[in-house]
């Protein structure tokens, strides 16, 4: 007894879904449901991420406020350090310069007897000397003595010419760079 299998279909097939337009609409509604579900998931995830990001932003702003207060508290200390640095720089520069007595001592000890100075100008680490020497030998002795001095770092002869007022000797101008 072979009974043929009986098929019962409670939802009859609509002939509209067999047409091209029906298949397109069925596909669009199926794909549309998935797109709506995916879109809702993205919206829910972005909403949850927004809470997390807002919390991080609040924490960062609090840290900035705290660190700004710390940096601001160091402002007075920084001003004091800068003032001390300026003073020490000034004092260091002052101690490295030759005093007027040291300038005169440097020149007087090395000046020959027949040499006369007319002006001596002391600037920071530079001395400009003008004067007269009776002979070229006296002038060369003066230059040589200055060159051998450990305090003299550089020596420039700015001008040398014969002394027209006296008729003998040389007028000179020397620039001496010296250190302590």
pTM of the complete model = 0.48
Q: Each residue of 144-161: b (16+ CB within 10 Å) or e?
A: eebeebeebeeeeeeeee
Own/partner contacts of 100-109, CB < 8 Å, gap of 24 or more, are: 102/180, 103/127, 103/178, 106/149, 106/151, 106/152, 106/176, 106/178, 107/146, 107/176
- pLDDT above 80: residue 157: yes
Is residue 82 classed exposed, middle or buried when 0-12, 13-18 and 19+ CB atoms within 10 A define those classes? Answer: exposed
Domain ranges of the chain: 15-73, 100-178
**What percentage of the chain carries pLDDT values higher than 70?**
97
**CATH for 100-178?**
3.30.70.2830
Residue 160 and residue 139 in contact, taking contact as beta carbons nearer than 8 Å: yes
E strand or H helix at 153, and its extent?
Answer: strand 152-162
Q: What would the pLDDT profile of 33-52 be if each residue is shown by its tens digit?
A: 999 999 999 999 999 999 99
Contact between 117 and 130 (Cβ < 8 Å) = yes
**According to the model, what pLDDT value does residue 39 have?**
95
Low-confidence winner among 31-40, 81-90, 171-180 (lowest mean pLDDT): 171-180
Conformation bin of residue 159: beta by default, left when phi > 0, alpha when psi is -120 to 50: beta
- Collapse the DSSP code of 129 into the 3-class scheme (helix H, G, I; strand E, B; otherwise coil) and give the result: strand
pLDDT at position 178 = 80
Query: pLDDT class for 1, splitting at 50, 70, 90?
Result: low
Q: What average pLDDT does this structure show over 21-43?
A: 91
What residues does 115 pair with on adjacent strands? 133
What pLDDT is recorded for position 57? 95
The CA-CA-CA angle for residues 152, 109, 117, to 5°, reads: 90
Does residue 100 carry a pLDDT above 80?
A: no
List pLDDT tens digits, range 138-153. Answer: 888 988 988 888 888 8
Please name every residue paired with 121 in a beta bridge, in sequence order, or none if there are none.
128
Task: Answer with the residue of higher pLDDT: 105 or 52.
Answer: 52
């Amino acid at each position: 007894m072979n009974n043929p299998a009986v098929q019962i279909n409670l939802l009859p097939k609509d002939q509209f879904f067999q047409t091209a337009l029906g298949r397109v609409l069925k596909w669009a509604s199926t794909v549309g449901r998935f797109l709506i579900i995916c879109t809702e998931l993205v919206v829910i995830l972005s909403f949850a991420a927004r809470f997390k990001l807002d919390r991080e932003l609040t924490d960062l702003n609090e840290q900035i406020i705290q660190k700004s207060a710390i940096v601001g508290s160091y402002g007075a200390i920084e001003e004091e350090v800068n003032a001390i640095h300026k003073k020490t720089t000034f004092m260091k520069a002052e101690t490295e310069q030759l005093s007027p007595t040291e300038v005169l001592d440097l020149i007087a000890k090395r000046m020959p007897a027949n040499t006369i100075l007319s002006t001596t100008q002391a600037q920071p680490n530079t001395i400009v000397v003008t004067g007269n020497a009776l002979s070229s030998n006296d002038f060369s002795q003066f230059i040589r003595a200055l060159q051998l001095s450990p305090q003299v770092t550089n020596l420039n002869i700015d001008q040398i010419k014969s002394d027209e007022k006296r008729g003998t000797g040389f007028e000179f101008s020397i620039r001496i760079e010296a250190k302590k």
